[in-house]
Amino acid sequence: MKSVVEIIKEQPKFCSYTNLASGRLGAEALLCSDDFFAEMQNLVLPGRGIFIADKYTDRGKWMDGWESRRKRTEGHDWCIVKLATHGIIHGLDIDTNYFLGNHPPFASVEACTINTKLEATSLNDDTIQWKEILPKVALDAGSQNFFEIADKSIYTHLKLHIYPDGGVARLKVYGEVVKDWKSLQPDEIVDLASALNGAKSVLCNDMFFSHMDNLLLPGRGINMGDGWETKRNRTPNNRDWVIVRLAHAGTIKQVLIDTCHFKGNYPDACMIEGTTIKPEDETKLTSTEINWTTVLPKVKLNADFEHYFEKEVENHGPFTHVRLSIFPDGGISRMRLFGNAKL
């Protein structure tokens, strides 16, 4: 089995951005020309999709993706996806995992920005100004098809075209969350560590079992794989850590550490430190040039439990980055840092 780190090394650099088409963040497949064999909503599910050899439905072979029927008329199939947030797109992954004799040979992608709520059926009429961000390209079967996007406009919706028909397991849209911070009140409490607000895990020393980005997802973890988990470390006094770029520079008033589903493998203790740096200094985060300030001193943790800390917070900031350390190893489902953005 490949570790999370090994999988990441095989991907383009733009995959380090947030997946704006993640259903876990709130992305939705809203409308498509046809999803006879497999529902369009599968496009925004996590992972790459699975294959169950002997699983069938009353319409044919069950497939973990979006699959249209064989087209017997002119034209091609398409699907419209609403992104989780406004965002700037850096790259796409049109994944045809397990679609071998039924993948689309070609695809293209258009994008648009919609700031008002529309009926899904209205998204395919002539009033929507779609802009092509990926011209028609060839797709490989059973593969992650990666494409870098040069257009750096802000978008809310994508339209995936497949030619002429077939199946796509997942659509991942890697980019930057764009949030209107000026619309907030100065004393408004926000989660500075929320991926939906633009927070990002940027570095860790270990994520063998599950990805550091899971810490910042909305909701509680759905299972033990839906968190950040390091491998077992027998080194005396070991400390594992992850560094998070906050959604916005801000002050921290309350901390939530959730060990949901981590029972025999939760960390014994944790602590949080903060720092304020310029974006160009992010490459120095592991160097001695960075001064870390204790936000939450070392505290004991319990299994499968939501830990709230407020009085224990020693320094409020403002900070741009935090470092969560766990002792000696283990898994944490979510980290929330509630406070005020420094506007």
Asked if the 184-341 domain carries CATH number 2.60.120.260, the reply is yes
**The tokens of 165 are what?**
């028909």
* Topology of domain 12-177, CATH: Jelly Rolls (2.60.120)
Are domains 12-177 and 184-341 of this chain identical in fold?
Answer: yes
Q: For the chain, what are the domain ranges? A: 12-177, 184-341
> How many Cα atoms occupy the beta-carbon half-sphere of 143 within 13 Å?
10
pLDDT digits (tens, 9 = 90+) for 125-144: 888 899 999 999 999 999 99
Does the pLDDT at position 2 exceed 80?
no
pLDDT band, residue 312 (cuts 50/70/90): very high
Which segment of 100-104, 185-189, 306-310 scores lowest on mean pLDDT?
185-189
For every residue of the chain, which 3-state class applies, written as one string? CCCHHHHHHCCCHHHHCEECCCCCCCCEEEEECCCCCECHHHHHCCCCCCCCCCCEECCEECCCCEECCCCCCCCCEEEEEEEEEEEEEEEEEEECCCCCCCCCCEEEEEEECCCCCCCHHHHHCCCCCCEEEEEEEECCCCCEEEEECCCCCEEEEEEEEEECCCEECEEEEEEEECCCHHHCCCCCCEECCCHHHCCEEEEECCCCCECHHHHHCCCCCCCCCCCEECCCCCCCCCCEEEEEEEEEEEEEEEEEEECCCCCCCCCCEEEEEEECCCHHHHHHCCCCCCCCEEEEEEEECCCCCEEEECCCCCCCCCEEEEEEEEECCCEECEEEEEEEECC
Average pLDDT over residues 218-238: 95
pLDDT digits (tens, 9 = 90+) for 275-305: 999 999 999 999 999 999 999 999 999 999 9
Average pLDDT over residues 14-23: 96
pLDDT band, residue 16 (cuts 50/70/90): very high
Q: Which residues pair with 243 in a beta bridge?
A: 203, 323
